[in-house]
Structure 1
Amino acid sequence: MRGPVAVVKRSFLEGRCIAALARDHGVSRGAIRTAVADLLPDRTAAAPEAPVPELPVTLDMPGEVADFLRTAELEPAERVALDEGQAVRRGTGYTLRVSAVPAVHRQLLDRCQILDGTAAVPARRKVRREYGNRVGALTP
């Protein structure tokens, strides 16, 4: 590193903000961001072997599935996802809007597998199948 870019990078590492550096050097904030792009925390490159983190996905879970899952033994992440879900009224029932990573949605779907059994009420099989279709539409 040499020249003004080196000075900007060194100042940035010492704690100077982008706006102050732009004023000091008479350039735009974008120019400063470009000069220090490799030092910004949200721009650092991930290790090639590191797994890509899953982002939360919001899915509508039928109320009957949510009611069944509330009585089941769940992992802490699953319980938090259900507890933080937002109930949306739908006719005589409701839908629970659940935000969680796809892995948690798949675990919840596996936990309500019993609703799809031959002894289950047809309506429960249908709501479990609906939730299964929504989870299945997520990319693996």
Structure 2
Amino acid sequence: MHISEMFRRPAGKTDAVRTAYLEGRPIAALAREHGVSRGAIRTTVADLMPEHTAVGREDVPALELPVTLVMPGKVADFLRAAELEPAERAALDHGVTVRRGQSYTLRVSAIPSEHRGLLARCQSLDGPRAPQ
């Protein structure tokens, strides 16, 4: 294999790589899958990476990338019984259960705005606020 072939972008698969990256696939996994360097994948998705922002351009909305948060099982049970937006329900339903002795945690991957929605629904779990 010629050295230039080792560092090229995945030919004809740019859209698939970009979509997979937005869905949360790691750069290293994409590089292995397509037989190219991580640098080639980074170049392909450079404008999608968090450090690439639309500074000074109000016409371009900021891109929200999915993040994974871990919530206690009791919170997950509370949210499952609550009325949720469809995107919040989907994020909760696709969470990964991790057993912890007699209890469990739920790993939920979603964009930050969906996490904020779930967090807002948990406000009643805080109890009454003490006067300051």
Q: Same fold (TM over 0.5)?
A: yes
Q: Select the residue among 63, 72, 95 that pairs with 1:62.
A: 72
Q: Select the residue among 101, 108, 111 that pairs with 2:111.
A: 101
| Percent identical residues | 64
Q: 1:81 maps to what in 2?
A: 91
For structure 1, list consecutive stretches of 5 or more residues without a partner in the other structure. 1-27, 34-39, 119-140
Counterparts in 2 of 1:30 and 1:61: CA distance versus 1, 3 Å: same
SS of match in other structure, 1:87: strand
CA RMSD between the two structures: 3.1
Q: Which amino acid aligns with 2:71?
A: M
TM-aligned CA deviation for residue 99 of structure 1: 0.3
- Tell me the distance in 1 between the aligned counterparts of 2:101 and 2:53: 47
- Divergent runs of 4+, >2 A: 28-33, 40-49
Which piece of structure 1 moves more, 65-74 or 45-54? 45-54
- Tell me the distance in 2 between the aligned counterparts of 1:59 and 1:43: 25
For structure 2, list consecutive stretches of 5 or more residues without a partner in the other structure. 10-42
Q: TM-score, normalised by structure 2?
A: 0.55
How many pairs were matched up?
88
Q: 2:127 maps to what in 1?
A: 117
Q: TM-score, normalised by structure 1?
A: 0.52
Higher Rg of the two aligned structures:
1
Counterparts in 2 of 1:80 and 1:29: CA distance versus 1, 3 Å: same
- Tell me the distance in 2 between the aligned counterparts of 1:115 and 1:46: 36
